[in-house]
Structure 1
């Protein structure tokens, strides 16, 4: 507790310091000119969190990617800006407010629920569930999700968030949420020490009139430029809410889009109608038809025509007045081109299907899931939007063994057979069977054909009649596989049944991928064409021939925040035309030319998203937000108003006066029009008339200007900029310069789940708004994974959950930052360990005390500066070698940490700047202690300075304390950046040798320890080689190696550095290096056969070592004197070996004869013990 209390006191002190001095308030340079200025700047943003509760560790994790990045660029000396807003647009707040109002209305205030486990859902949900029947419009979700989302009352949810009981009723007003939770988030982020310019913060929706005007301007511009259109388009739809359900309105299924299916119309053969038609036709030809005609006509039909199953289905439908209409089993497919290979169709024997009118002349049999989606797409016999024209329920067992006509199949009729893995919540519940190229179909086909597990008998299947005549058809030829790919691969892989899932999954990937992209059609109307080229054509052909219906459903399940299973609806709506090919091309160009995505997989995901992006519903009927300016009965949806607000951050302080909702606004709302935004966002050179008139050059106008300047002034932050404003045009240009300086966005940090929607939409809208100015397009987007807590998914229900406020209170801000940085880099899910945060408290506290102690115990001594240190550098010099190694390590750690931070790999940077640099410090202090010399003041101060500045990226409070209290330096550490990386890199050129020395010493001590282990082993007869242990050690260094060894090493080094493909490329030896050495020895060096084994053994050692040590293993001449270095490190060697005395000799100079030291080679000394 002592450590934590001390750290939290430090954090509070520095947060007050930053706040009072505006440390993180960022402004352009004085006299900035967008056409000539080249000042280094960094502008980073993070998707503003949704304010329906307290922020948690997951929010903090994503936010720290931006926060750490701004910290790093501040330490680079860049002008750096990190703004932070609060999102309240959309349905979730409205839904929660309504739910709370329903609870209070039903159960009082405070509500008394019937039981803790079963509070009543909202009226909307209850009403929906009470009116569900076979022809209902939707169903509420009833599963684990329902239990999780509905079992807890909204009253209890707010209470758990810490809302006082007397305050809870106020949350029935959605706008109370808008004012309540942003204030708490602001407080949490302040305690976190976020390096945010809070002047620029805002809330969204019409609760903030300035942001509202900004969104209206954006949409009017998009509309004028043709990017927004109106029409009937497919979208994910919430039947309960009666409007489109976009990503931020979803409890689950974020990123899911409509998926188009081709519904193959498998006509259920009506034998009665066929017979009737034939009778009528015959009667026209012969009026004297005898009484035996019926039997005769019946005999003309194939023997399986009079299928009792079909008659039973038609009889069942006739009971519901269904007669003289076509009846179809509709099978949904994504591969219409394969329909030429149909041999049967599958249904789920236990499935519940329904018969529905889609028009007055057509009845379809499908799952209720599919029918619901169709009903919202107009496939419901002209019934009202979303209403089913339901006839009756039909079970899967009723459909089994019926016969249908299958479009494009060469078989005139096919049978309906059982498949126990058919999904009723995906597609129509009816599946066409193409066993030639679908492994699952073939496996099931074989199961029935061979009566595996008695399946044929179980369902009464006459295999000879229903399966044997319907062999798989060779419809697609795949290179290297041939036709009948599923048949061939299933047989080769010995698939045992339809339940052999692992093998079938692998085979399916091969059949589907290779078949689609490289396969050639060998049957049907598109024979000879590539499969991938005829998919659309086949769809169109089936549609033209009235042999299919086209409908869509969600790619996977989507649940709205109102707990409703969503469908796809063809609804009239305003939409952003993201499917526009020219617009797509611009976005791809931005991604390819300008956008740094930090990971190739993220870039590829962006490109895939752009390829598949389609029209996006930009409006909804109700919810919080901004009204669509050209159709005010609609509200702009929550992702559509969140695409270019980064631009608003650059000017918001001039509008809102530091208030979140604009209530302290400095400029009247009625002078902020489209011409204002066009001008300040560098889209027009025309001064806005209303703005200019308001600040007209008279006494009133001057007074207004004076008041605005007074409201904007922040001493020591923007004094020179504000005082230079003398007219309305000056003010406009100052606002415009703020935008032009900070734009484009250098980095946008976000969770990876926003790549398929929000982040891609940001790219789209930037290329649209600034279509003619590529300098304004985003430059970087960094996606991170989700955050686990203690190696498990964060879950309130499971008790594995931490809000940001709880974490900061428990561990302090810097320890939480430390653990968040350590949680992980990359796009895979990260893991916050409370153990790491807890340990960080002690580690940071110890760092502070250690640095203070080091400085206290250091003395001013040589070297006293970088210049003095560099003057000692030279091969063979042992003067100050320990100090040089320490300085080289400091520089190396700085360069490596900065490289990691530049790539947004903050865990890697933390490890280098905290662990590696700390290890270098400990090595140096240990060497001083063993040498009995004081610490060098210059080096200790330089270490603490670099340590503080690198740590400032992650843990700014402790860094400030090191800088101010330990080093006694004035001002903030963020105003004293790291040394130039270029300067350090240049210095490293002559200091790198000392890193080699450090590696050499560590490797040598490890190698000599192995000699000691061998020396202490008993002889074969059991006697000890050193009865009294090792007391002294004599180390022998080889100054040179034999010429043949030098030639072998040189030959291998040349191969290692050879960039040609023949030699394996730069950075490794080719696989045949050993045989090349053998050839070189015999043909070039002329090595005698008796020596070849010894030579090849040496070469093999070098080859093996090069795999771990790289080219250094192949260098026979070190860039320093081994003898001098080992003498300088004699105490470390003696301590490492545990001997009383150690001496060092060059081979041939000590008491041990040279013949006994042949094992010594350059870089690999040997040792003798006594």
Structure 2
């Protein structure tokens, strides 16, 4: 508790300091700082969080990727900007406010709910109820609640969010949310120590008239340039809300798009009219139905069945034909994604226990489908001209009523096929009717075999006459696949011994082969497109079926989508304004941006962007209601919540000018009337024409001059923008200042976000930037980094399970820097990261101890040699061993700095933390230990260098403790963010001169390990049970070889020449050629003239070098080290002696000690040998 209290006091201290000194406010360099324009600038943004609650750890995790990045670039000395806004556009706030109002209306204030587990309001419809009333009016379905979505009242949710109970009634007004939660979010981020320029913060919607005008300008421009269109198009639709449900409006199903299905019309045959129809056909000499000719039937050995109808179907048929259908044709509608395979239909499947319905789609046609499919169709105009979304419902039909009926299947060569049972059909996907193509669909063939062989009594259970209904309908050879042939599903199922439809693992694997190879490499062998590639005839087959009125085309969501109003969504064909993201030319621009400019940090992110662009289609940009900005050219609509959030990064660059320091612009001295399209065109570098209204308002007359003066006073922040503001003397100067702010910060250098926003928000950002600044590639985004979701303690974060932490809770529990430490440690990649509370708790002690250790070390240090880099360099030139340990420590500091910076540059913050905290700390401890064993004081120059470097690297992740180290330990007066790291080039040059000491450190550690391993072997009992050193090793004598035998040197040099000279020729850097061994053999015979008896020994040595080079690179081929092994080991004698656990240790050159040279032949440069006593 003492440690935590101390750290939190430090955090409050530095947060006050940053606020009072405006440390993180950023402006373009001017005046004497103008040369900084030639240095780097860094502009990073993070998707503004949605303000329907408090920030939680997941928000912080994604935000820290931007926050850590700006911290790193501040420590690089770059002009760095991280703004932070608040998103309130869309339905979630409106939905929550409405839910609260309904609770209060129906259950009082505070609401007294009837039960704890049912919060449905009167008149609402649950998923368990039939959603069709007696006249066929569809009622919006509420989503089923499950373990993940515990039902809780909105009143209780607000209590959990910390809202005082007396304040809760105010939240029935959506705009109260807009005022309440951004303030709390700002407070949380300040307690976190976020390095944000808060002047630029804003809220969205018309609650902020300046942002509202910015969005309207953007949409007018997109509309003028042809990127926004109007028309009827399919979109995900919430029937309860009566409008499109875009990603941001969804409780689940983010990223799900409409999926087009081809509904095959399987005409249901009425047994009472069939005989009469057949007689008429025979009399007229017509072919039977859609059947095949005799030659094809004979060729396929198909036995056509006699007419058959199951008497159990009679009741439902009578009801359809006599009472409802009125001579309309009735179809079982089978949904498929593969219309080209319909030539292979042998039967169709229904779910015996399924609930189907009969519906008019027009006055002449009735379809039998699942309610799920019918509802989607009713929202796409397939409802007999009924009102939008209303079903023309006839009656309900059970799957068992349809079993054993006969249908005519388009394109199938069979005259008629039977309706058979399939118990695995899902009624919430497709129509609930499935065509069977057993030749190429493994599931169909498995079920076909189950019934054919009456497995588990399935044929008997459902009364299937196998001889009549199945045996004559053999799988048809419709597709030929290279290396497989025809009947791919039949062949692969038989070869894999698929036992039944429930043999899921095998069937899944076979399905992948059949579908992928069949589609991309298969050739059609039957039907109207025989001879064509399968992939080439899919669209043609679809068009043929449409042309012949043998199918309908409809869509439904790819998977379930639940709106935030808890409604199951459908696909609707609705009139709406949409962004034409399917435009080919626009797609090409975005692809160009991705390929040429965009750093995605992970190849998979780049691949996801490209896949998203490939599949991106029209995007509904408008909605009927909700918070937001009115569509400027059609104010009946509001712009949806992702569409208004694509280029707001540009708004950040001038927001502080427009809004007057308030989130909503309420304190601005800019009248909204002067902020028009010409203003934004000029400020955002799209036009050189000065905006007339603006120029007139701040004119040179006394009134205009006074307005300008008052505005300058409100904008002035001493020490931040004084030179910029004081230089403004006219309206044009003010416009120029804003334009220069935009031009300096743009483009966006890095956009950090969760990976779930790649399929929508992040891709839309690319689209809209390439559209708005279509002729100026310099404004297009340069970097996007995606991260995985955050787990808490190895489990999904969930309020329902209690495994959840808000940002405020985490900071109060562990302090800001410890939370930052654990968030950095949580993970860097696209996989889900993991925040461990144990890590945060340990970080409290580790950071506290770091501060104490640095204070103690500096107090205990003394001014001694070396006192500077110059002293170090002098030691190197003199080849002195007097301060090897000091040189190694300094080299380690430089090496850790460069490697940590490289990791931070790549946004690999966990890696950077490990290097800058763990590895640098380990190097410190090694140096301290060496001083203690040598009984010398700590070198003050090195301790100060270490503490300074530690503070600067740690500032990236934990800025509060870094500032404390800088100020209280090192005694420096300026913020650490005003004293950046040296340039990478400077650090690299310094390390270049010290790199040999890194090799020395590696050599010493490797030597200790190797000698310890030898000691283990020495102490092992012999075969006879005796031990060479029964009392253990007390004395060690280490022998160092100065030179290798000449033949070893020659072989190593020969390999080294190949490594450097011929690497590229043999495929890439950093490897010997594949025939290196044979070359060495030839070299030894032809050049070295190695005797035959020695060749095996030489080749064994060469093989060891070749193997070592694969891991150690060219260093493995060096036979002479760049330092004196004897001097180094002597300097590290205490470390070696302690590592071996002996009492005495001596170091000798081979030939100089008591052990004769012939006994030391195993010693080679870099690999000394040891003798124990």
Aligning the two structures, in what range does the TM-score lie when normalised by the shorter sequence? over 0.9
Q: Say if 1:270 and 1:310, in contact at 8 Å, map to a contact too.
A: no
Correspondent of 2:507 among 500, 504, 508: 504
In structure 2, the gaps of 5 or more residues are 286-302
Deviation at 1:693, TM superposition (A): 0.6
Q: Is 1:91–1:249's contact at 8 Å kept on the other side of the alignment?
A: yes
Residue equivalent to 1:659: 662
Q: Is the 8 A contact 2:309 2:404 kept in 1?
A: no
Give the Å deviation of 1:1087: 3.8
Q: Encode CA deviations 1:428-468: one digit per residue, 9 max, x unaligned.
A: 11111122222212222222222222222222222222222
Aligned to 1:289: none
Query: What secondary structure sits across from 1:650 in the alignment?
Result: helix
Measure the CA separation in 1 of the matches of 2:569 and 2:1075. 61
Partner of 2:144: 143
- Residue 300 of structure 2 corresponds to none
1:989 aligns with 2:998: no
Deviates more, 1:1052-1061 or 1:3-12: 1052-1061
Find the aligned partners of 2:541 and 2:642 in 1 and give their Cα distance: 36
Change (3 A) 1:762 1:919: same
1:165 aligned residue: 165
Cα deviation, residue 868, structure 1 = 2.4
**Corresponding residue number in structure 1 for 2:97:** 97
1:450 maps to: 453
Q: Is 1:221 aligned to 2:221, yes or no?
A: yes
Whether the 8 Å CA contact 2:126–2:144 is kept in 1: the answer is: no
* Cα distance in 2 for residues equivalent to 1:283 and 1:413: 20
Structure 1's 555 and 283: CA in aligned 2 closer, same or farther, altered over 3 A? closer
* Counterpart in the other structure of 1:70: 70
Deviation at 1:139, TM superposition (A): 4.5
Conserved? CA contact 1:578–1:764, under 8 Å: yes
Check conservation: 1:1058, 1:1066, Cα contact below 8 A.
Answer: no
1:574-629 Cα distance to aligned partner (Å, 9 max, x none): 11111111111111111111111111111111111111111111111111111111
- Going from structure 1 to structure 2, the CA distance change for 1:302 and 1:828 (only over 3 Å counts) comes to closer
How big is the shift at 1:870? 2.2
Cα offset for 1:1139?
1.8
What is the aligned partner in structure 2 of residue 754 from structure 1? 757
Instruction: Find out whether 1:376 has 2:379 as its counterpart.
Output: yes
Q: Which residue of 1 aligns with 2:934?
A: 931
Name the structure 1 match of 2:747: 744
> TM-score, normalised to structure 1's length?
0.96
Please report how far the alpha carbon of residue 530 of structure 1 lies from its aligned counterpart in structure 2 after TM superposition: 2.1
Shift of 1:1072: 6.6
Matched, 1:566 2:579: no
Which of 313, 321, 343 is 1:318 aligned to? 321
Matching residue of 2:114: 114
Q: The residue matched to 2:64 in structure 1 has which SS?
A: helix
Q: Distance in 1 between matches of 2:340 and 2:32?
A: 62
List runs of 5+ in structure 1 lacking aligned partners.
286-299
C-alpha contact 1:963 1:969 (8 A) present in aligned 2: yes
Q: Is the 8 A contact 2:916 2:950 kept in 1?
A: yes
Q: 1:129 to 1:640 in 2, by over 3 A?
A: farther
Contact 2:127 2:144 in 1 (8 A): no
Distance 1:244 1:1057, change over 3 A: same
CA contact (8 A) 1:329 1:365 kept: yes
1:259-311 CA distances to partner (integer Å, 9 max, x unpaired)?
111111111123433433456678999xxxxxxxxxxxxxx995234554665
Distance change (3 Å), C-alpha of 1:278 and 1:1128: closer
Q: Does the alignment pair 1:833 with 2:857?
A: no
SS of match in other structure, 1:963: helix
Report what 2:707 is aligned to.
704
User: 1:251 and 2:229 equivalent?
Assistant: no
Moved more, 551-560 or 480-489: 480-489
2:292 is matched with which residue?
none
Per-residue deviation, 1:395: 1.4
Give the distance between the partners of 2:912 and 2:170, measured in 1 at CA.
46
The residue that corresponds to 1:791 in the other structure is 794
| 2:208 match | 208
C-alpha spacing 1:301/1:976, structure 2 compared with 1 (3 Å): closer
Q: Secondary structure at the match of 1:133?
A: coil
Q: Secondary structure at the match of 2:325?
A: coil
Return the alpha-carbon distance in structure 2 between the equivalents of residues 121 and 1016 of structure 1: 80
Partner of 1:697: helix, strand, or coil? coil
Q: Relative to structure 1, is the Cα distance of residues 505 and 31 closer, same or farther in structure 2, using a 3 angstrom cutoff?
A: farther
1:167-215 CA-partner distances (Å, limit 9, x unpaired): 0111011111000000000000000000000000001111111111111
Secondary structure in structure 1 of the residue aligned to 2:876? coil
Deviation string, structure 1 residues 468-523 (Cα, Å, up to 9, x no partner): 22222222222332322222222222222211111111221222122222222222
Distance in 2, Cα, partners of 1:991 & 1:906: 26
> SS where residue 883 of structure 1 aligns?
helix
User: In the aligned structure 2, how far is the partner of 1:35 from the partner of 1:418?
Assistant: 79
Asked whether the 8 Å contact 2:304–2:472 carries over to 1, the reply is no
Asked whether the equivalents of residues 128 and 139 of structure 1 are also in contact (C-alpha less than 8 Å), the reply is no
The worse-fitting range, judged by mean Cα deviation, of 833-842 and 1123-1132 is 1123-1132
Alignment correspondent of 1:291: none
1:600 and 2:603 are equivalent in the alignment: yes
Map 1:1084-1103 onto structure 2 (within 5 A): 1085-1103=1088-1106
Aligned mates of 2:1120, 2:349 — CA distance in 1: 75
Cα separation, 1, equivalents of 2:973 and 2:701 = 46
Q: 1:920 to 1:211 in 2, by over 3 A?
A: same
Range with bigger deviation, 672-681 or 521-530: 521-530
Moved more, 44-53 or 527-536: 527-536
Q: 1:982 to 1:322 in 2, by over 3 A?
A: same
Query: CA–CA distance in 1 between the matches of 2:284 and 2:518?
Result: 51
CA deviation string 1:46-94 (max 9, x = no partner): 0000000001000000000000000011111110000000001111111
Pick the aligned partner of 1:887 from 879, 887, 890.
890
1:846-872 Cα offsets, whole Å, 9 max, x none, are 111111111111112222222321232
Contact 1:121 1:150 in 2 (8 A): no
- The structural deviation recorded for 1:1019 is 4.0
Q: Which residue of 1 aligns with 2:60?
A: 60
Change in 2 beyond 3 A, CA 1:131/1:441: closer
Counting matched residue pairs gives 1155
Partner of residue 1017, structure 2:
1014
Q: What is the 5 A alignment of 1:642-1041?
A: 642-873=645-876, 877-1041=880-1044
CA distance in 2, matches of 1:128, 1:88: 33
Report the Cα distance in structure 1 between the residues aligned to 2:485 and 2:269, rounded to whole angstroms: 35
SS in 1 for 2:118: coil
Q: 1:619 aligns with which of 622, 635, 657?
A: 622
- Native 8 Å contact 2:143 2:568 kept in 1: no
CA distance in structure 1 between the partners assigned to 2:284 and 2:761 by the alignment = 68
**TM-score between both structures, scaled by the size of structure 2:** 0.95
Give the drift of 1:1086.
4.3
Cα displacement (A) at 1:879: 3.5
Does the 8 Å CA contact 1:132/1:139 hold for their aligned counterparts?
no
d(CA) in 2 for partners of 1:541, 1:325: 22
Counterpart Cα distance in 1 of 2:149 and 2:9:
40
Matched-pair contact (CA < 8 Å) for 1:137–1:239:
no
**Superposed counterparts of 1:277-356, under 5 Å:** 277=277, 303-306=306-309, 308=311, 311=314, 313-318=316-321, 320-356=323-359
1:1084 to partner: Cα distance = 5.3
Q: 1:451 to 1:1055 in 2, by over 3 A?
A: farther
Kindly tell me: are residues 346 and 1073 of structure 1, through their superposed partners in 2, closer, same or farther at Cα, counting changes over 3 Å?
A: farther
What is the distance in 2 between the residues matched to 1:412 and 1:280?
16
Per the alignment, residue 412 of structure 1 pairs with 415
Q: Mean alpha-carbon deviation: is it higher for 580-589 or for 726-735?
A: 580-589
Aligned counterparts of 2:781 and 2:618: Cα–Cα separation in 1? 22
Which residue is equivalent to 2:24? 24
For 1:1163 and 1:941, the matched residues in 2 are separated by 33
